A and B are shown apart, each in its own frame.
Chain A
């Protein structure tokens, strides 16, 4: 079974530039998550999708971050304009969703390491 795919794996940009990350979840997974993991910290949820609808984006800095999940499959996360403090690993995860019950497992991709100079 293929895992969660993410690209690019690494990205270096100047502050105030824009950047986009792509995620392809495990086939059949209804729920997709984007996390921000700052060095030395645990992942922090940015946005959660159920199919192509947003379940929670309360921690997404909406003035600069946006995300979409077209057709309930792939997703993109965009930052525009980037700030120095956005330097982090951006992780995408997917899970079966509510049908799996309380033990619904999130499977993570390898992440995109973003460096903002």
Chain B
């Protein structure tokens, strides 16, 4: 059962543009929402994360927007650069002792120079 739905599957953006990736979740037990960035041949690395008690979190060019009522969250990459070309995964962590991550299906971002 896919509990975190991610779109689009792929995204092509011009250098300097804004990249937007969207995710939706079903399980209201999720209480932590990280985004991971993965380059070819590497493991995913934490990029930015948010808790549901805030609606937005910004770190440099990366912003998460969170809509708790709609059960949706999105990643915005401002002034996108060719070095941002990677696969991005949203994820959700549920409350409880195990605190496991459920990943979305990923978005392959290509930033054209």
Using a CB–CB cutoff of 8 Å, the interface residues on chain A facing chain B are 4, 33, 40-45, 48, 55-56, 91, 93, 98, 102-111
Contact = CB atoms under 8 A, between A and B. Distances in A.
B-side interface size class:
20 to 34
Given A103-B49, A104-B99, A42 B104 contact: yes
B100 A105 contact: no
A42 B105 contact: yes
Contacts of A102: 31-32, 51, 93, 95, 99
A33 B103 CA distance: 14
Interface of B: 4, 6, 31-32, 34, 41-46, 49, 51, 89, 91, 93, 95, 97-101, 103-106
B20 to A, nearest CB: 19
Most chain A CB within 10 A, of B89, B100, B104, B106, is at B100
